Chains A and B, each alone.
Chain A
Amino acid sequence: MSAVTSPARQASSGVSAKTINRIVIYGLLALFALFYLMPLFVMLVTSFKTMDEIQNGNMLALPQSPTIEPWFKAWGETCVGLTCAGIKGYFWNSIKMVVPAVLISTLLGALNGYVLTKWRFRGHTLVFAMMLFACFIPFQSVLLPMATILGSIGRFGASLRNATGFNFGLGNSTVNLVFVHVVYGLGFTTLFFRNYYEAFPTELIKAAQVDGASFFQIFRRIMLPNSMPIFVVTVIYQFTNIWNDFLFASAYAGTGDVMPMTVALNNVVNTSTGVVEYNVNMAAAMIAALPTLIVYVVAGRYFVRGLMAGAVKG
């Protein structure tokens, strides 16, 4: 706006331009929000409808006689392949896989970040660059080599069982998946923690050294308690990735009782016993999505804060 226009005109045109801007921005935001929320809405309403209503009614209509029956059925009765005991077993499979995988990969990432920033050794940048490179390796390219490795681990577990009567979890599908996800997630968790610790004041470590704290005492007493934001970020990131993973799960635990939730959900939807129970499928999908949703709701605040903190300063 040029400086010679009269103040009155300046004000009026300023206000109208601003209002139009606002309308366009909020209109677009609302449109995008609608676009993203629509599938969720359809899933949610469908999961509370009876089959009659789904077959005869409108997809977007609210349920006429809401029922929670499909949720119970999805949880406890629906057929996954040939067994009809619901998805609850597979849900726990996923939990059993996700919790250790997330915790181990996050803690190892924190330890890596600690060493790469505070206990530097010759070639630390090279090591970090190689770990970064792990972030860019596509899932597909590790499928076969990983299968070979898991096979060897399984054989080793079998010979352990022959020798000691116990295989120490080696060869177990859940353990395999935990291993795969820890290895694959390490690049990301290391990246997060290294960048966070890079800005972490080194004088604190020196002070702790003078105070007589050991390598792990410093890690546990000084580093970890001051890493809450990046810890939350890493946990959310890893939890979402591992919980939602389908490729590794279907490749290494794709059949039987050991399937994680994602694979089981796929099987629920693909199992055809006459009529397709959309309400049960939708309820199952909602149950499958719930944990990540809860993690975001509970820790989302920290997620944004942590991303900022990690990016700008410790």
Chain B
Amino acid sequence: MAFLEIDGLKKRFGNVEILKGINVELEKGGFLVLVGPSGCGKSTLLNTIAGLENITEGEIRVEGRAINDLHPSKRDIAMVFQSYALYPNMTVAGNIAFGMEMRGVPAAERQAAIDKVAKILQIGHLLQRKPSQLSGGQRQRVAMGRALVRDPKLFLFDEPLSNLDAKLRVDMRIEIKRLHATTGTTIVYVTHDQIEAMTLATKIAVMRDGEVQQFGTPAEVYNNPTNVFVADFMGSPAMNLIPAKIGANGSELSVVLDREARQPITLSLTGAPAGLAAFKDKQVIFGVRPEALTDPEGAERNGSEIATADCHIEVVEPAGSDTFAVTNLGGKGVVARLRADARIQPGTSTPLAFNLSKAVFFDPATEKRIL
């Protein structure tokens, strides 16, 4: 039995089904990230866990106990909101203590709890200020403090970093990860930022249109996406999804990539997935991540399936830590990730190494993974 279980959860507004049967589980001390584009239902799902929205069908259980009919304050949860939702009329201390005050905790105990949290988050010097006198990062800390002080079973974060600037976002991301490591709390976290999802999560649920597309560890979701949507959504730069044809040379399959005004590239596959045989002479979507398409010197030495092919480089983007090169395969711009000092010139033909053991194939009709 998992710590948090969401079982067949459905949510309807009139005839519109917002959540179409969600099944997710999280172990104690886990960090579940709900990720997806806006409007996918991830915030609604979080609100149903918090009890701020009712569910139509299904059950939400914490430690085996159904909580879906309990009032938010009775669920033993704490929530950090996107806008921080600090009460503007109260001081930082007042904000942190409000929940305890509502539950009738004596003043001395409240003060002790405030001091403890203030120490963890290093906001001791801010306690007597009003939220309007704080910077974005400080407000974020106070919002986390308000959640921490309750010592709840479950923490809910609703896009807590999306209002911060890029640098502060990275800092706070690390802060949250450290907090999770030190306190060992169970967290459900909503974001539309796949990097946040990858870096923070122990489990990721990728959502679209009210359905979980894939549920698994970050590595599973990243390396073994179940469909085109997940493959495209996770990772930056995104996975190259190239229209390709499956060819065969005897029993050995190969993938054929068309090129404009050039010979197609044919890469033979030694470890092709079993399902791929059925697609012989048919179209597939060939998915390869930019880091699996690199300069031969940068390719994984002990990769089992490295195939090299000359590619015409159209654009080169030096990004400092890496150099990205864009070539055209199957009628699409394809991004390769090269070492920063790779010698590469736009407009030239350069050999690129395909790491085929990391490549994935999708059925263009169903957009599902071919296994």
Contacts and interface: CB of A to CB of B under 8 A. Distances in A.
Given A201-B85, A203-B85, A204-B85, A210 B79 contact: yes
A213 B102 CA distance: 6
A212 B103 contact: yes
A209 B73 contact: yes
A313 interface: no
Contacts of A52: none
Nearest to B158: A203
Contact of B78 (A204, A210, A221, A226): A210
A211 B99 contact: yes
A207 B83 CA distance: 11
Contact of B98 (A203, A206, A213): A213
Given A213-B98, A213-B102, A217-B102, A208 B83 contact: no
Interface string A209-251: 1111100010001100110000000000000000000000000
A201 B102 contact: no
Contact of B72 (A201, A204, A209): A209
Interface in B67-97: 71-73, 77-79, 81-83, 85, 87-89
A225 B89 contact: yes
Interface residues of B, number: 22
B134 to A, nearest CB: 16
Nearest to A203: B85
Nearest to A227: B89
A38 B50 CA distance: 63
28 contacts: A201-B85, A203-B82, A203-B83, A203-B85, A204-B85, A204-B87, A206-B52, A206-B72, A206-B79, A206-B81, A206-B85, A207-B81, A207-B85, A207-B146, A209-B73, A210-B52, A210-B73, A210-B78, A211-B73, A211-B98, A211-B102, A211-B146, A212-B72, A212-B73, A212-B103, A213-B102, A217-B102, A226-B88
* Chain A CB within 10 Å, residue with most, of B47, B71, B81, B103: B81
A221 B73 CA distance: 17
A212 B79 CA distance: 12
A291 B58 CA distance: 61
A213 B77 CA distance: 14
Interface of A: 201, 203-204, 206-213, 217, 221-222, 225-226
A209 B51 CA distance: 9
A25 to B, nearest CB: 37
Contacts of A206: 47, 50, 52, 72, 79, 81, 85
B51 to A, nearest CB: 8
A127 B215 CA distance: 44
A201 B83 contact: yes
Nearest to B87: A222
Given A209-B52, A212-B103, A203 B81 contact: yes
Contacts of B99: 210-212
B214 to A, nearest CB: 29
B185 to A, nearest CB: 15
Contacts of B87: 204, 207-208, 221-222, 226
A110 B78 CA distance: 29
Contacts of B79: 206-207, 210
Nearest to B81: A203
Contacts of B50: 206, 210
A203 B73 CA distance: 15
B72 A210 contact: yes
A123 B78 CA distance: 32
B242 to A, nearest CB: 43
A221 B99 CA distance: 12
Contacts of A203: 81-83, 85
A180 B81 CA distance: 43
A213 B99 CA distance: 8
A213 B85 CA distance: 14
A225 B90 CA distance: 9
Interface in B25-81: 47, 50-52, 71-73, 77-79, 81
A203 B162 CA distance: 15
Contacts of B83: 201, 203
Nearest to A217: B102
* Chain B CB within 10 Å, residue with most, of A211, A217, A226: A211
Contacts of B52: 206, 209-210
